[in-house]
Amino acid sequence: MEQIEIGTSGLKTSRIGLGTWAIGGWMWGGTDEAQSIATIRSAVERGVTLIDTAPAYGFGRSEEIIGKALAEGNLRDKVQIATKLGLAWKNGNVYRDSRPARIRNEIEDSLRRLRTDVIDLYQVHWPDLETPIADTAEALEELRREGKIRAIGVSNYTPAQMDAFRKVARLDAVQPPYNLLEREIEADVLPYAKGAGLTVLSYGSLCRGLLTGAITATTKFVGDDLRKNDPKFQPPRLPQYLAAVRELDALARQRFGKTVLALAVRWVLDQGPTIALWGARKPSQLDAIGDVDGWHVDDKAKAEIDAILKRSVTNPISPAFMAPPEKRPPTAA
């Protein structure tokens, strides 16, 4: 599997990372621990060495499952763990909190749940608009100097926010939403990352399942599955996106002998210094990983992809609905 260095940290990892939001269960209709552990181990067996998680994924559950899978399988030395900080929760509601004192507590909780003594890539999950960026950056730089983390990243940050962060701490990575259907970062974050030498961890590479080709007009989402509230999965937009996926799948098969899923991931990898985060909850959802390596989406195909999206998705929408509240609740400690 293709490899990439994360910024200038010296850490090398696979260009496909396992995304584990769904493994945490929250906003994905629950989780199955045994199946999740099997998925993590299957990913490693297939050459995936980066596992991306966060405390907010299941309120610690995703980290706990990863820690158990790696410890019991003796896999810790074979992977790089990327987790996050800066989202707290109360009564099932998350809010942003990147205050230095909380970071100190939060990393100890993550280390314990992950059953490790160092986090390879520690990322600020969302910018905390009530805490000076410099304070957060300094707290993370201190953790790096102490050897508790190896590299620093941010997620959902603007270029201006990254500029402020980099004045205080070395930044190696940025994690924004990015896929064939959600491309807002091409106007700012992606060119900034290229210029600053940052590695881009693209979350939502399969657009919450839309780009797997498995979603249909009759697909039902149960429990707290976030897709029940995702505008892309509701009329009038869902038919537009499904039409685009059908055309993209036809293009992928005709031009490359691949599926739309493989096309979606390969496309992300061909956009620059990128890592595609591939979300999965069962081993079979990783079966197409082998279809991604060894080829590229040429410029002609990229132009055809753009044309398909332009004529099919006449009413596009960003993933902004997933953003947590910008202000902490009055009761936050």
Catalytic residue set: 57
- For 249, other C-beta atoms within 10 Å of its C-beta total 18
Do 62 and 69 meet the contact criterion of CB atoms below 8 Å apart?
no
Q: Residue with structure tokens 């106007």?
A: 187
Provide the terminal-to-terminal Cα distance of the chain, rounded to the nearest Å: 44
Do 84 and 125 meet the contact criterion of CB atoms below 8 Å apart?
yes
* Residue/partner pairs of 212-217 with CB below 8 Å, 24 or more apart: 212/260, 212/261, 212/285, 213/245, 213/249, 213/259, 213/260, 213/261, 215/242, 215/245, 216/242, 217/242
Describe the crossing of helices 189-196 and 159-166 by its angle, rounded to 10 degrees. 30
How far apart are alpha carbons 274 and 198 in whole angstroms? 9
Do 328 and 126 meet the contact criterion of CB atoms below 8 Å apart?
no
